[in-house]
Structure 1
Amino acid sequence: MKGIIRLLFWVVALTTFCGTVSAQTGKQRLTREQLAEVQAKHIAKEMAMDDATSQRFIDTFCQFQRDIWALGPRPKQPHSQMTDEETEQALKNRFAHSQKILDLRQKYYGIYSEFLTQKQIRRVYELERQMMDRLSKHGKGKRANR
């Protein structure tokens, strides 16, 4: 009986210790909503926007991201095992998805034009592209290390 109690004690102790260690070392990932807000705040800070413009930009940028996510994932790339009809449909799906993204970009360009200058809008797009490139490279490095 003592042996079982001692074993149970060790199992509980190790479980508690391992849980504490993993909680300390594991980084919590941001949700995509949080990431969009961090990106918007970074862009607003980088461009030295005033408080009112900054808040409007953050709200607009986050809404744009939500609208993009609502479109769903990008349709799959056609591959060699597909028939001609399947390939044609896959290509048409990708074109339609790309058109929806373009429509959203034009819509939000109009909204940005209400409170940002054309040079500021261009700079927003540049900073957004830089961040996406950086995140893309960071993600590729993590996958290579696995």
Structure 2
Amino acid sequence: MKSVFKILLFAMAMTTFCVSAYAQKDNRQRMTREQLAETQAKYIVQEMAMNDTTAKKFVATFCQFQKEIWALGPRPKRGVSSGTDAETEQAIKERFAHSQKILNLRHKYYEEYSKFLSQQQIARVYELERKMMDRLYHRSQKERLKNNK
């Protein structure tokens, strides 16, 4: 009887431990957009070994650029081909307009970066930013697949 009680007590302890460990895993906080942008900017600063003055300017400029991109709102949806020709044309034009707004912002911030970064540094910033976006995209796809199972 004592051994059965010990086994039952052990099983309950293990269950409690596993549930609390699982709950802690799920309670991790997601970063806000602002925190993510600042983290990305600091990563780029570190990768490029910028000095303190340049780093401060870059982080502030990068974060402001991200805020302006977010202000544009989400990308217009794709795949309206099941509608009429007029609806499809309107959807295509909306995507073009959104893409043009993004291009205008990229040009504006290219000019800002040019004030304190060399052209090679700007190219490296774009390269690092692209790699980060690819990693985030692939991570989100893995999460989506994991959650759909």
* TM-score category of the 2 structures, normalised to the smaller one: 0.7 to 0.9
User: Deviation string for 1:58-97 (max 9, x for gaps)?
Assistant: 0000000000000000011133321100000000000000
- One-letter code of the match for 1:63? Q
Query: % of aligned pairs identical?
Result: 63
Does 2:96 correspond to 1:68? no
CA deviation string 1:4-60 (max 9, x = no partner): xxxxxxxxxxxxx9x965662221110111000000000001000001100100000
Q: Structure 1: where are the runs of 5+ without partners? A: 1-16
**Structure 2 residue aligned with 1:85:** 86
Distance 1:121 1:45 in 2: 14
Q: Which residue of 2 aligns with 1:121?
A: 122
- In the other structure, the counterpart of 1:24 is 24
TM-score, normalised via structure 1 length: 0.84
How far 1:132 sits from its partner (Å)?
A: 0.4
**What is the Cα deviation at residue 112 of structure 1?**
0.1
Letter of the aligned partner of 2:51 in structure 1? D
Structure 1 stretches of at least 4 aligned residues deviating more than 6 Å after TM superposition: none
> Contact 1:78 / 1:91 at 8 angstroms: preserved in 2?
no
For residues 81 and 112 of structure 2, the distance between their equivalents in structure 1, rounded to whole angstroms, comes to: 42
**CA-based RMSD:** 1.7
Structure 2 CA distance, aligned partners of 1:47 and 1:28? 29
User: Equivalent residue for 2:7?
Assistant: none
- CA–CA distance in 2 between the matches of 1:28 and 1:78? 33
Matches of 1:39 and 1:84, distance apart in 2:
41
Please tell me whether residue 111 in structure 1 is matched to residue 112 in structure 2: yes
> 2:45 is matched with which residue?
44
User: Paired residues, what number?
Assistant: 130
Instruction: Provide the TM-score with structure 2 as the length reference.
Output: 0.82
Q: Distance in 2 between matches of 1:78 and 1:103?
A: 25
- DSSP-derived class of the 1:112 partner: helix
- Residue 9 of structure 2: aligned partner: none
Q: C-alpha distance in 1, partners of 2:112/2:42?
A: 18
Confirm or deny that 1:95 pairs with 2:96. Answer: yes
